[in-house]
Each structure stands twice: as C-alpha cells, then as structure tokens.
Structure 1
Amino acid sequence: MAGMDNYSSLKFKAECELQDDPLSKEHRTRDRVNQDDDISDRKYLVVGVQWVSLVTENLLSHPFVVLRRQCQVYNASRRYHLHPFQLLPSIVHLHRRQGLTTLWKGVGSCLLVRGMTLAIDDFISKVTSWPKEVNSRTTLKRFGQHLLLKCISIGLVVPFHAASLVETVQSDIASEKPGLFDVFREGSLRLFYWSSPQKGRMLPAWALIGPSVAFGITKYLFNLVIRGVSSRIMQRRITNSQDGQGGKYQEIYASLIAILTTEVMFFPFETILHRLQLQGTRTIIDNLDNGYDVVPILTNYQGVIDCYQTTIVSEGVSGLYKGFGAMILQFAAHVAVIKLAKWVVNQIVEVMSNRPPQQIVKYYNLDENACNSRSTTLSPSLSSTECSLGQNSQD
C-alpha cells in the first residue's frame, strides 16, 4: 500500500510538473498555431474556388454564350436547339470549317463592357456617395439609391453592349475581324445618334435604353432575391445538420443557383432584347442549322411588343427559347468546373491536415526532449516508463 501511495504521489507530481513545463507550453502554443494555420489555409482554398467560379462565369463560358446568342438572333432558323444534342453536330461542323477559335469571338469586347460597367458603378458611387453594394443591413433609402445607380449604369452601357453583341454573333468567314477597341467606337456612334440612327432599320438609342434598363434592373432584383433565399435555406440546413464543412461553399452555391434560375426565367426577354439590338447592323452570322454556311439577319421590328408578337406568330412560343440547349451546356460545364475545383481543394486540405490528433500528442508527449528534461526531477523508473510510452506511440 505504501508503494502504491508513493507511486500515486509521484504521478501527481509528474502531471503538475508537466503542466508547468515550458516544453509542454511550447507544444500547446505550437498546436494553436497549427490550428490557426489550418483555418487560414482553408480560407485561402475557398477563395481559390470562388475565383475559379468567377473565371468560369466570365471567361470559360464564353463559347456557350456565342452559340446561345447566335441561336437567339436567327429568326429564320428551322432548328430551335432547345436541348444540347441538337447543337453538337453544328459545333463539330463549325470546328472543322473555322477552327475552335470561332467560339471565342467577341470575348475581348464582352470583358471590356463588363469592366466598363464596374468602372461606371465605381465612378457614380464616388461622385454621389450612393452604395454600389448592398446587404441585409442596408436601409431602404440606401437601397433605392443603389437601384438608381444601377439604372444609370445599365443605361449608359446599352449602346456598347449592342456593339459587343454584334462582335459576338457575326461570322468570322463573312466579316472582318473587329479591332480590340472597336466596341467603344461603335457604341459611341449609337449613343451619339440618339434619335436618328446612322443605318436604315437600326432602332434609335432611346428606343433601346428604356427596355434594356427595365430588363436589367428587374433581372438584377430577381437575382438578389433568389440568392438571399437560397443562402438562408442552405444556412438553415447546415445549422440543423451541424455540418461545419458545408458552410464553406455556401455563397458559391447560392450564387450559382441564383444565376441559373435568373437566366432561365429571363431567357425569352433576353431573346427579344438581342434581336432589337442587332436589327439594322447588317450582321452576317453562321447558320447553326447545319454549321456550314452563313446567313444575314434581316428584321424590321418596330419595338418590344412588335418583336414579341411577330416571334409568337411566325415561330411559336418556343421561338423565344431558341438556343436554350446552349445555356444547358453552359451551366453543366460551370457546375463541372466547380465540382472539380472543390474536389482538388478537399484533396489539398486532407494532405495538409494529415497529422496525428492534438489530443494524442498532448497525452503521450511525443517530444523526447521533454522526457529527458523531466528525468532529473522524477524517479528513474517513472521517467523511463513515460519515455518508453512516447517512443511506442511513435512506432
């Protein structure tokens, strides 16, 4: 009994000295640093996935945008391309005849127009102090100012967006390749000829800006609502399931759901708007019915209502959804890229976190130097026993 009491007192003394040991404190500090590093690494990796999604949305999806717009503006097409399988033969023929670069036409002008939109938003925000971003804590007055900023920005960019649309859909083999900054020249001309366009059937700028602003701001508000609702639903599901890992990609998936839902809902209105913007530009596009020849776009719409009624009468309701298969391909590729990026991120996280649990490290005290430093104060038998335990755990 005396030996057992002696051993218990020695063990209690060892535990007390272990808590006061500077090497043990160093281990605890190192563990906290490693945990902080893991959290920081995960944040950087999630930001990487967000950047991949942004690049996919603005750059890698461009070939599908080209196909989609060509289908939308071709009012005399026999094939509507409502599903992706109808598009595949035309894509193959375009690739054989013109090369794969034909699907990347107009990418520079599209990026310039998007950059111009961001620059105008930033300029108006600095001049007027109107917010260019909103969140759930934004007041009603500030939200109204934000919508007014968006309306002005969309209205100013409409002529340049129309010029970019022409570069996106025109055929490479039947038209001269535009210069990098031709979108600014053509857009400025359309804005300058406010009420009397420089070409016969081209609609004046004032007839395009009204519908474009109404379409753009309604689409933007719908996107905000869907993103907020989907984000809250995902947050509630994550909270109920107590899954801490699911919240990392919540904003990415909420944004993707909002974009997909918005594009599907506003697809018919986009078709009408693109036809009005292209009218009178004498644009020649690739014939996606077969992918071999080219066709001119000759329309004479008087406005939004006339375009809608003419499309319904001559093409049917499905005529408003021409090129819907290209949008399906676009979002399928977008989801696939995000899934691939997420898988790569998870693999990196697993490799970086492949270390022994911190509780085991603290309990068995794997550092041999700590065992050697305590051997002067503990009995030789107790010290050698703890050191042997640490070595066995390493093995």
Structure 2
Amino acid sequence: MASRRPDSFDGLGYRGREEPLYGSGFPLRGTGAFADPQLQQWVTTPPDIPGSRNLHPGGDRTPFDGPQTEPRGPPGAAADWGAPPASFPPTDQVNRFAGFGIGLVSLFTENVLSHPCIVFRRQCQVNYHAHCYHLTPFSAVAVMYSISKAQGVKALWKGMGSTFIVHGVTLGAEGIISEFTPLPRELPHRWSWKELAGHLLLKGLTAVVVLPFYCASLVETVQSEIVRDESASGLLDCVREGLARLLHVGAPHSRRLLPLSCLLLPAALHAILRYAMSTTVQQVALWFYQRGRKQRSEPSNPLDAYFPELVAAWAGSLVADVALFPLETALHRLSLQGTRTIIDATDGVVATGAGASPLVLPVNTQYDGLSDCLHTIRRKEGGAGYYRGFGALVAQYTLHGALLAAARMLLRVMLLDTRTG
C-alpha cells in the first residue's frame, strides 16, 4: 500500500492539507498544550482496540491517558526523534505470565502432586479391616511414607494415567450430550430454573456415562503394587476394563459384583451435589472478595485477575469434598465390591519373613445397595467409619493451598522486580 504521507512531512511542523482520516471524528483526550486548535489535524486520539480496556487496571483509561506535557522546542519545530521513548510496563505480558504461572501450578498440584493423597484416601475408604481410621493428616502421611519406602515411590502414583483418561472421557461425553440435546453446557449470566435443571441433568448424565470407566480407574488406584502384573498392564486398561464391565465380558468376577444399574443413582447424585456445592461456594467467595475490594479501594494488581478465582475454586472443592465424604466412601465401596481387588493394609508396615513388606488385604463386602452400605458402616464402624482417610483429604488440600500461596508470593516478587527494573 502506498503511503499517503507527504514528502515534506516533518512531524508536528506540517500544516498542509486537510486529511479526512484525522479530523473532528476523534475528540481530543488531553486538555494541555496539544489542545491547540492548530494541532487538531495530526494530534488526535486513536480508536480503542476492542478488549484493550481489560488489559489496564485503570478501567476505561489506557496507560497513555493523563495530562499532556509541553512539547520540547518552539512550535513548529520537528519532533525530537532521538529522545528515548517513554517506558510503560508490559501490562499485557505481565497479566498473561501471572495467569499462566498460577494456573499451571494449580493444575499440576491438583492432578499430579495430590495424586498420592487421593490413592491413600481411596484405600482407606474401602479398607473396612483397618483399625486406624486416619482422621488426621499426620497418621496418613506416616503410612504413605511407609508404603512408598517398601514398594517404591511409584506405588503412590498408580492409576494416575487412568484418572486423566476419566477426565478426558468426562469432557468428551459432556460435550457430545450437550451437542445432541438441548441441555446447556454453560449457564448464562441470567439463567432460569429450567436452564439450571437442564444443566444439572447434564452433569448427572455425564457421570452415568463415565461410571464404568470410573470404576475401572478406582480399581487401578487402590490395587496393591505387589499383585499388579506390570507386563500385562497398559495405559488403556481403564478403557478396556470399563467396556468389559459395561458389556459383561472379560474375566469373571465374584457373584457379589453389583450391576451398574445399582450404582447409577449414587454416582449421579454425587456428581450433581459436588458440582452444585463447589460452584455455589466459588461464586459466594468471589462475591465477598469483590465486595471487600470495592470497600478497600486497593490499587489494582495483575495477580488479582487470576488468583481469586483459583482460591475460590480451591475453597469450593474443599467444602464439597468434606460435605460429600460419606457418600463418596459408600460409592467407592459399592464400585469395588466383587472385583476381587487386593489392596494395601493402611495400618502400616508389618514384618514378614526376612524383610518388612506391607500387608495386603482382599476387599470382601456384601452390600445390597447404597442404603444398606450406609447402615452397615454406621452399625459396624460407627460414625467415624464414614470418614476413613479424611486425613489424606486434609493433606491434599493443605498441599494445594500452600503451593498456590507460594506461587503467588513468587510471582509478586517477580512483578516487583519487573516494575523496579
């Protein structure tokens, strides 16, 4: 494209012809020296880029707003092109780096570093033989260390690949169901009760579709490494075992194996309640944060665009997992019943023969359904039986929260160095 700039253009000294592109269509933003009517031909306000208002903490003002300074030299002189340009903080880059860093730490902690706590919590939930309920994180961490010392570090990361597969199947099933049904995948800002009911129904149907693969993943996470056949195990075992249980094919199971129809209601109920509780707590926490921020009138911080949402999501998941811990315990016991799974003893390491190795136990339960499972736990194990492995849950969220706080502190220091540098 050929330039429309005249050959005699020398900056602000040019006073030539009228340009229709730069005229009264764009009002002047400043009221200083550049408000001279003679300069209105060239000194105008460029149009705002869509979405650029969200990149600057000042609201509608951009980093280029503010009182204009007097131009150097006499009027009509050429601009000082050799002067160093004004330095503005790279707000866009800082925001993206802060959001990516904190989000990556949260995702890595939730899915990788917290996996040993999830493994041990599930083992405690299905181990009705154990004398120690591990209601505090101290006893849970001690036994986790003993198991990893006896079987290796990978013993606490077993089944991590299957959990990723379950997450992927969940996202895929939810997307497919929402595409072929009128059930909304996301709620609008102003939703109706019909839309809310359809959205929750979508979550329940997704849990029902994923249930066979979730049961297969549960077996992989709680099964002892001592009886695991490494040569026959693969990454897609979760998918194969889930399809085998759905189609009633493959290796024969015990007669106590419950059909999937008996697990549909507990699985859908747990998924819907967990989603509803976590989302409600998350929205309430964000509302309180925004309200307190308006009252304090604190200066804007790039971390405030990302960190509060992660903390609210952390709090929502914590409240939902604590409130639904008894239902999760019953669901895991019903899902594992009749699968002939052998788990590690959660009471610690016992000496057998020449060395020390963890004792393994079979899972032999005879529940008829959800109500029978809840009543049996209450009668034989007491109220604390619903919360076996609760200490591992506390350790999981403590680790997650501590790493989020450490990441926020580290990024805050890096941002201060960037601004002062």
8 A contact 1:193–1:205 mirrored in 2: no
* Matching residue within 355, 360, 372 for 1:294: 360
8 A contact 1:193–1:204 mirrored in 2: no
* Matching residue within 189, 195, 198 for 2:244: 189
Instruction: Quote the offset at 1:216 in angstroms.
Output: 1.0
For residues 232-266 of structure 1, the C-alpha deviation after alignment (integer angstroms, 9 at most, x for no partner) is 01111111111223733211111111011111111
8 A contact 2:253–2:340 mirrored in 1: no
| Cα distance in structure 1, aligned partners of 2:267 and 2:171 | 17
**Counterparts of 1:69-108 in structure 2 under 5 Å?**
69-108=122-161
1:18/1:140 CA distance change after superposition, 3 Å: farther
Matched position secondary structure for 2:348: coil
Instruction: Quote the offset at 1:146 in angstroms.
Output: 2.0
1:82/1:17 CA distance change after superposition, 3 Å: closer
Query: Which residue pairs with 1:263 in the alignment?
Result: 321
Matched, 1:44 2:97: yes
| Cα distance in structure 1, aligned partners of 2:406 and 2:111 | 18
* Matching residue within 185, 188, 196 for 1:132: 185
For residues 16-73 of structure 1, the C-alpha deviation after alignment (integer angstroms, 9 at most, x for no partner) is 4439677579979744xx24x2243123312320221122112221010001000000
Structure possessing the higher relative contact order (Cα contacts under 8 Å, 6 or more residues apart): 1
Query: Which residue pairs with 2:261 in the alignment?
Result: 206
Query: Which residue pairs with 2:295 in the alignment?
Result: 240
| Cα distance in structure 1, aligned partners of 2:96 and 2:310 | 13
| Cα distance in structure 2, aligned partners of 1:29 and 1:63 | 53
| Cα distance in structure 2, aligned partners of 1:252 and 1:26 | 46
Structure 1: stretches of 5+ with no match in the other structure = 1-14, 356-395
Matched position secondary structure for 1:288: strand
Query: Which residue pairs with 1:62 in the alignment?
Result: 115
1:287 maps to a residue whose letter is: A
More helix by proportion, 1 or 2? Answer: 1
Query: Which residue pairs with 2:308 in the alignment?
Result: 250
Matched, 1:164 2:217: yes
Query: Which residue pairs with 1:304 in the alignment?
Result: 370
| Cα distance in structure 1, aligned partners of 2:326 and 2:97 | 39
| Cα distance in structure 2, aligned partners of 1:26 and 1:294 | 77
TM-score under structure 2 length normalisation: 0.75
| Cα distance in structure 1, aligned partners of 2:79 and 2:151 | 69
Large movers: runs of 4+ above 4 Å: 19-29
Query: Which residue pairs with 1:381 in the alignment?
Result: none
For residues 88-127 of structure 1, the C-alpha deviation after alignment (integer angstroms, 9 at most, x for no partner) is 3322321221011100000000110011101111222223
8 A contact 2:162–2:235 mirrored in 1: yes
For residues 181-200 of structure 1, the C-alpha deviation after alignment (integer angstroms, 9 at most, x for no partner) is 11111111222249xx9531
TM-score under structure 1 length normalisation: 0.80
2:179 maps to a residue whose letter is: K
Matched position secondary structure for 1:285: strand
Instruction: Quote the offset at 1:348 in angstroms.
Output: 1.7
Q: RMSD of aligned C-alpha atoms?
A: 2.3
1:26/1:203 CA distance change after superposition, 3 Å: farther
1:239/1:185 CA distance change after superposition, 3 Å: same
